[in-house]
Structure 1
Amino acid sequence: MSVAEFCVTDSRVSSHPAPSWGERIRQWRRNNRQRFNRTLARLFGTSRAKRMPLAPDTRRILVVRLNKRLGNILFLTPMLRSLSASLPEARIDLVIQSPAQVALLQSLPGVGQVYIQRNSLFGLLGLLRTIRRQRYDLAIDPTGNSASNRMSMALSGARQRLGFANKDQWLPLTHAAGRTQSRHQALQAVELLNDAIAEPEIECFDTLAVFPDNQARQAADRIWQTTLAGQADEAPVIGFFARATGRKQLPRHWWQAWIIAMRAAAPSAVLVEILPGDDARPISDELPHVAIKALTELAAFMARCDQFVAADSGPMHLAAAAGVPTVGLFQATSPRDYAPLGQSCISLEGKRLTPELTARTLAARL
């Protein structure tokens, strides 16, 4: 298949089979849950924005983001930095689901404890007791569309609750912002603070960020020397990640064509592939490649690259957070919502999403 054939969208109308009984039952449950949420919202919830000052003694803050996707967790970093800068005496704790992401969040200023939600009943009860003992002054749901986040906020016992107001918001909030669909997912969380908190004034950050510690940077330096073996002493290095989930992933032959185009556009550049695991097959056995499990070490390794390119994925956002000029490739999602947020980061989509143009773009940026 040629690149031109790859970029063409099939516009033929296909017939869809009737939904299975399982799909019908799931849809029925979703509809009933939605009706139940709206009934609760009308009785107790928060359907309109509510901008209020924070209590002057707000010092203990809990952010609830029950999600395992790396990109979604990195989307918290502008909001967390905004909170820390605006409330410098506060300690910000979080509840997430992936232990692998704890060190990334704890590298941020103001962040204290990062709790992990376990799936076992005893684990959940133990976490709830621990959280309630902290007597949080403020709990935040940065998404507005997660029933798990809302339930955790409700059970936290926090005396102030901040989130998005909408017709399905059944949780009584003390501070609420209207939901906007016109901004990047990460920036909506910053807007939540600015629109729902009247005082203090919010200092807003608009880029992703992580700050690996010295141990992570030293480990990344050793991996860099082993992987590149002196190839990058004077040559520019372009890192790339060729995987993504579902329709976001570009096919293998696209990346092979990109490597050929990249060698023509920037012959001196060294290409290094980031792999999702040790057992993953590289795009080219001739290129250096590496799999790094610890995310802080991976971020520190990426930070040494001159450029990074990837489809919409967690590593793309991690590269942007590490400060690497990143080119994001979008064929199934919108850069408006998911672009890499960082210094000198850009996105390519539509007709611009070809191996040749991507290679020329990267070469011009070196």
Structure 2
Amino acid sequence: MNAKSLKRWIKHQRRNNRGRLNRLLTRLLGTTEPRRRPLVGDTRRVLVVRLNKRLGNILFLTPMLRTLAASLPAATIDVVIQDARQKPLLETLPGIGRVWVHEKSFGATLKLLRQLRARRYDLAIDPSGNSASNRLALALSKARQRMGFATANQWVPLSHAASRPGSRHQAKQAVELLESGVTETEWQRFNTLAVFPGAEAERSAQQHWDRAFRELTSPSPVVAFFTQATGNKQLDDDWWADFLEQVAEKLPEAHLLQICPPGAPTPTSMASVCIAELDVLAATLSRADAFVAADSGPMHLAAAAGVPVAGLFKATNPAAYAPLGPGCVSLAGETLTPEHTVEAVRGMLSKQPNRGAA
């Protein structure tokens, strides 16, 4: 057996061992059936666990966080995540107390665990149902009540458990977890993503906007776009070239703004911005009149910022990952063409007064 085969065999054995341990713990302790009951009356300290670095997955928390804040106004809601860059996006949401960031080292993990346990949370929530890290944090949180999804692999003993909801969208599932796992609470439901950049982020965004459009002298609609995506979600250069040609032909009054990844070279043929701070990027996107992107973090960030988004779905399912925001549309299959996309943008611009004038 060569080194590559040995590595594959070890990985396979680890996966099998984890599976066996998971099944054993589920039989002994787990929650495989729904448990719907009221919250303890003095539920005031809530922890939401989402140990994932993908921007979209963190933004998918925002409808549930807003639902919690509106429905439990006396509660303080803390969140634990993995990427410090995403922290400003959650800190300004209503009802949010502290956003903890999990650093991947043994010492940092122990320190964070001690801090979380010291808070003595009344309720801890795993909104995803498919993360071993989330489950472990939930089990170790020392919360009086624990909420999550009841599945054949749910080895955490939960006080409140819901079966997998009918909605396939990741953000809506988290809201449905609250409704299905708790009785005697009237949930004020939110179904769209949302972020609320602070004053400093807004000032910085205005500076980026002014630099990008320093030569724009008359009010004009601004169509922002982002060409990048991971793996086979990305559309090729020819698709984007055709899209830009059609915008120039069919929407000659519109100004284009290209959103570039931080550190990438900026194009000289049109206005562009490269912004690393996510709250500043959200505030900048909010000034646009429409946004076009493949399924990606910036697509969801634009929807959360309140921009009508044309989401382009080449590989992923819009039923699970559509941009959730006012005026957003998803294009897939036969509609995933530059022609349909430009028509979608035209419809967006026709339904709103110009918000993106420099």
| TM-score interval, normalised by the smaller of the two chains | over 0.9
One-letter amino acid matched to 2:200 = Q
Distance (Å, rounded) in 2 between the aligned partners of 1:233 and 1:207: 32
SS in 2 for 1:114: strand
> Are 2:157 and 1:172 equivalent residues in the alignment?
yes
SS in 2 for 1:172: coil
Match of 1:314 among 297, 302, 326: 297
Distance (Å, rounded) in 1 between the aligned partners of 2:312 and 2:81: 27
User: In 2, are the aligned partners of 1:262 and 1:363 still within 8 Å (CA)?
Assistant: no
User: In 2, are the aligned partners of 1:42 and 1:167 still within 8 Å (CA)?
Assistant: no
Residue 226 (structure 2) aligns with: 241
> Are 2:99 and 1:114 equivalent residues in the alignment?
yes
After the TM superposition, which segments of 4 or more aligned residues of structure 1 sit over 3 Å from their partners? 19-25
User: In 2, are the aligned partners of 1:160 and 1:175 still within 8 Å (CA)?
Assistant: yes
User: In 2, are the aligned partners of 1:262 and 1:360 still within 8 Å (CA)?
Assistant: no
Residue 322 (structure 2) aligns with: 339
Residue 201 (structure 2) aligns with: 216
Residue 248 (structure 2) aligns with: 263
Q: Select between 349-358 and 61-70 the one with higher mean Cα deviation.
A: 349-358
| CA displacement 1:310-366 (0-9 Å, x = unmatched) | 000000000000000001000000000000000010000011111222122212321
Gaps of 5+ in 1: 1-18
Distance (Å, rounded) in 1 between the aligned partners of 2:296 and 2:287: 19
SS in 2 for 1:329: strand
Residue 298 (structure 1) aligns with: 281
User: In 1, are the aligned partners of 2:50 and 2:126 still within 8 Å (CA)?
Assistant: yes
Distance (Å, rounded) in 2 between the aligned partners of 1:179 and 1:360: 36
Distance (Å, rounded) in 1 between the aligned partners of 2:262 and 2:243: 22
Gaps of 5+ in 2: 350-358
Distance (Å, rounded) in 2 between the aligned partners of 1:272 and 1:133: 47
Distance (Å, rounded) in 2 between the aligned partners of 1:326 and 1:150: 33
Match of 1:57 among 42, 66, 82: 42
One-letter amino acid matched to 1:226 = R
Aligned residues: 346
SS in 2 for 1:328: strand
User: In 1, are the aligned partners of 2:165 and 2:177 still within 8 Å (CA)?
Assistant: no
> Are 2:338 and 1:349 equivalent residues in the alignment?
no
Structure 1 residue 200, shift from structure 2 partner: 1.7
Distance (Å, rounded) in 2 between the aligned partners of 1:51 and 1:233: 57
SS in 2 for 1:348: strand
Distance (Å, rounded) in 1 between the aligned partners of 2:57 and 2:8: 27
SS in 2 for 1:183: coil
Distance (Å, rounded) in 2 between the aligned partners of 1:358 and 1:20: 46
SS in 1 for 2:38: coil
User: In 2, are the aligned partners of 1:232 and 1:270 still within 8 Å (CA)?
Assistant: no
Match of 2:186 among 192, 195, 201: 201
Residue 353 (structure 2) aligns with: none
Aligned residues: CA RMSD: 1.4
What's the TM-score, normalizing by structure 2? 0.94
